[in-house]
């Protein structure tokens, strides 16, 4: 698996510092192979590996994670971001019915999916209506009716024996029927061809224009691998859509299609279908798919645990001090936290996590990194005794400290004043029943 390979790459690398260019190149090679094995399209692989390399260059080897774990975390975060971040939910119309239109190649799984989605919505308390607007294949209407019956969902279909029907009229009629009979969701099944074709696109566009869907979902067979990219692009240009549904994930597909399609189109994958049974269907979870693509699920669990432990140790220490169990909160602690912040990156986010700092978030967002350097320099110019008990720092010491740290006396004064203010506030918050949201504290 990728995690094994990366662990091999980094077996001699531990501790502090940055990853070397050679390490990063070796890593990039492993990731490239893993993605190609997962059937991700080549342009997507290139872009992805480039992005990971970029991020790996900026990263300090942390104490919580070893280099392999760190890179895997970067790769995973990047994957999850491309795959849509959080699971994207359906948008329901303010004025029902919500109209969902399905588009995709023939055999991609639209008709099956229509029934799965209907059942899923029904179980969530909706009252969906299925609309059979695929009049291309002789058996298509009947297939939807059979599936609808199995799902226990009503199907709107053209009257039989009326000659060749008009799918646009059927779609429109279905939405009207839903409005009349108080169905709150309409799922419009449409026709596909084996390949992308102009007439089919035109028909899908006409249906779209007739029913103005709240969501157009592009349905794609995950097993078509690399081809998924071209098809996805053709439907994006031809019909347009808001989200993607992957089907046949129960096949041996590693999920490369998911990454390719999401990356090329920028559209979120919303649902995943993994079997022929109506219940083989769920919301798409980007994090799970990321694990599947790179075959690194176990590693991710380990990483999460390592990070959690690390954060919790820090937070528990600070919390204990604030409640008077671990001695006073001192400038030494303050500096340790600063260093922690620096290491962990996003300044304002982490500062917001420090006790009592949340309310300074606005200022923190504009916080100058150099300010931290100044603060560190000042604290480092103090004696250990002064750091433990800043009260003993008198005027002449303040001058010495400012000289030693290359700052102004006013900077030293400001730091000491701010520290006392912050500590006072933290102590009173700690006494007043804890700091909400802070691990290790009653909240
Ligand atoms: P449509 O032409 O887009 O409407 O596709 P269908 O819904 O008719 O599906 C085509 C074939 O794929 C059918 O035989 C389905 O049973 C099968 N199928 C659909 N979804 C899945 C899936 O998630 N897993 C598997 N294994 N088969 C599926
Ligand atoms: Mg169909």
Q: Do 174 and 148 form a contact (C-beta atoms < 8 A)?
A: no
pTM: 0.67
pLDDT of residue 258: 87
Residues with CB under 6 A from ligand 1: 104, 106-112, 192, 247-248, 250, 273-276, 280
Sequence ranges of the domains in the chain:
2-82, 98-286, 322-431
Does the structure show a pLDDT above 80 at 2?
no
| CA distance linking residue 130 with residue 118, whole number of Å | 7
| CA distance linking residue 120 with residue 253, whole number of Å | 24
> Which of 228, 291, 289, 349 shows the shortest CA–CA distance to 84?
289
* Nearest ligand for residue 109 CA: 1
Which DSSP helix (H) or strand (E) runs through 300? Answer: helix 297-322
Ligand 1: which atom is nearest the Cα of residue 281?
23
Does the structure show a pLDDT above 70 at 194?
yes
- Give tens-digit pLDDT for 368-416: 567 777 888 899 899 888 988 888 999 999 999 999 999 999 999 988 8
Find out whether 248 is annotated in a ligand binding site. yes
**What is the Å distance from ligand 2's center to 140 Cα?**
6
Find out whether 231 is annotated in a ligand binding site. no
Which pair of tokens denotes residue 439? Answer: 């691990």
322-431 sits in which CATH class? mainly alpha
> Which of 323, 358, 364 shows the shortest CA–CA distance to 436?
358
**What is the Å distance from ligand 1's center to 97 Cα?**
26
Chain center to CA of 146: 37
Lowest mean per-residue pLDDT among 197-201, 214-218, 279-283, 429-433 = 429-433
End-to-end CA distance of the chain: 41
2-82 sits in which CATH class? mainly alpha
> Which of 375, 326, 318 shows the shortest CA–CA distance to 347?
375
- Give tens-digit pLDDT for 26-70: 888 888 888 888 888 899 999 999 988 888 887 776 666 767 777
Residues paired with 190 in a beta bridge = 133
Does the structure show a pLDDT above 60 at 290?
yes
| CA distance linking residue 118 with residue 101, whole number of Å | 12
Work out the angle between the directed axes of helices 256-265 and 67-82 (0-180°, nearest 10). 60
| CA distance linking residue 395 with residue 381, whole number of Å | 15
Most confident of 34-38, 95-99, 155-159: 95-99
Query: CATH number for the 98-286 domain, one of 3.20.20.70, 1.20.120.530, 3.40.50.300, 3.30.390.30?
Result: 3.40.50.300
Cβ contacts of 10-14, under 8 Å, gap ≥ 24: 10/66, 10/67, 10/68, 10/71, 13/61, 13/66, 13/67, 14/61, 14/66, 14/67
**What is the Å distance from ligand 2's center to 135 Cα?**
9
Which pair of tokens denotes residue 4? Answer: 């094994």
- Average of pLDDT values for 312-318? 65
Q: Is 218 helix (H, G, I), strand (E, B) or coil?
A: strand
Find out whether 105 is annotated in a ligand binding site. yes
- Give tens-digit pLDDT for 123-153: 999 999 999 999 988 889 999 999 999 999 9
pLDDT of residue 25: 86
> Which of 264, 250, 213 shows the shortest CA–CA distance to 83?
264
pLDDT of residue 164: 60
């Amino acid at each position: 698996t990728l995690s094994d390979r990366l662990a091999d790459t980094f077996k001699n690398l531990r501790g502090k510092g940055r990853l070397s260019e050679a390490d990063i190149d070796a890593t990039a090679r492993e990731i490239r192979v893993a993605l190609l094995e997962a059937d991700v399209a080549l342009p997507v692989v290139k872009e992805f590996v480039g992005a990971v390399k970029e991020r790996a260059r900026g990263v300090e080897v942390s104490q919580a994670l070893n280099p392999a774990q760190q890179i895997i975390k970067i790769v995973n975060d990047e994957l999850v971001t491309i795959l849509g971040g959080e699971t994207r939910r359906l948008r329901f119309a303010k004025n029902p019915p919500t109209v969902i239109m399905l588009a995709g190649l023939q055999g991609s799984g639209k008709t099956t999916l229509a029934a799965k989605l209907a059942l899923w919505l029904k179980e969530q308390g909706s009252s969906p209506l299925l609309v059979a607007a695929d009049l291309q294949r002789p058996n298509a209407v009947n297939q939807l009716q059979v599936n609808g019956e199995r799902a226990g969902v009503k199907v709107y279909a053209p009257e039989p024996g009326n000659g060749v029907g008009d799918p646009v009229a059927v779609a429109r009629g279905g939405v009207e029927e839903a409005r009349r009979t108080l169905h709150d969701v309409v799922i419009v099944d449409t026709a596909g061809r084996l390949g992308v074709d102009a007439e089919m696109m035109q028909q899908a566009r006409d249906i779209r224009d007739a029913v103005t869907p709240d969501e157009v979902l592009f349905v794609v067979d995950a097993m078509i691998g690399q081809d998924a990219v071209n098809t996805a692009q053709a439907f994006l240009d031809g019909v347009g859509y808001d989200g993607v549904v992957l089907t046949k994930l129960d096949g041996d597909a590693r999920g490369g299609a998911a990454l390719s399609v999401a990356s090329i189109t920028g559209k979120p994958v919303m649902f995943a279908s993994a079997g022929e049974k109506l219940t083989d269907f769920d919301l798409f979870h980007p994090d799970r798919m990321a694990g599947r693509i790179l075959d690194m699920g176990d590693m991710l669990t380990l990483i999460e645990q390592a990070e959690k432990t690390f954060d919790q140790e820090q937070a528990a220490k600070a919390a204990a001090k604030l409640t008077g169990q671990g001695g006073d909160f001192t400038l030494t602690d303050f500096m340790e936290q600063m260093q922690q912040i620096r290491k962990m990156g996003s300044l304002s986010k982490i500062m917001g996590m420090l006790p009592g700092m949340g309310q300074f978030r606005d200022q923190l967002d504009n916080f100058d990194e150099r300010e931290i350097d100044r603060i560190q320099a000042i604290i480092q110019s103090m004696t250990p005794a002064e750091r433990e008990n800043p009260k003993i720092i008198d005027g002449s010491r303040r001058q010495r400290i400012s000289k030693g740290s290359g700052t102004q006396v006013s900077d030293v004064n400001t730091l000491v004043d701010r520290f006392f203010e912050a500590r006072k506030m933290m102590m009173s918050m700690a006494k007043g029943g804890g700091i909400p949201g802070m691990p290790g504290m009653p909240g």
